[in-house]
Structure 1
């Protein structure tokens, strides 16, 4: 383990240019870790557009899926039971838990099919 650390320290020292141990204020220079790894972490972060696309849009799609299932189940319940005295809001709130279960089931099925497709593609690539 100490050999690895020595290599990393020597590698970082080889990349840095020789300086005196004083900064512009006259005090001792403080070595920063950012200089040693050579990565600009501010440019390595994802952009706001990609974060919006990756986080918000899938959630909106899931909410749209749940809403579609809720409307469909409410319509089926209205046709099947013909509740004349039940309001639309009550019927939608009754159908929300089954709509959530159906949406999660569809997502689980999609992930299962995607994994099966990737496993088959990985098996086809092996000699």
Structure 2
């Protein structure tokens, strides 16, 4: 229905993102300035701007969705029962094969085992 893109970069470095939005999505994409307040604030801005839709889906900027992401999401939400409040993806965080990973890379890779990861998740609006 609509794609809400929260641009949470600081205003001083913010350049228009419309060129980065695929042409097929441009007419239904709304860009909301985030004020550089972090992921949680960006998610709050996003769901408020989404309007009256049954599901709010969050996909953070460092997530690279696979080629079947949209279809997988559609099937997952269609299978959700009325008691389902949210759904989260299983993510893969690849580590470098040609060197030892840094502490930051190892910490980030640990998110792959997280039970609820907000980087790629959907919540029922109600």
TM normalised by structure 1 equals 0.21
Counting helix residues as a fraction of each chain, which structure ranks higher? 1
- Give the number of the structure whose residues are more often strand, by fraction: 2
Larger Rg: 1
Give the number of the structure with larger relative contact order, counting CA–CA contacts within 8 Å between residues 6 or more apart. Answer: 2
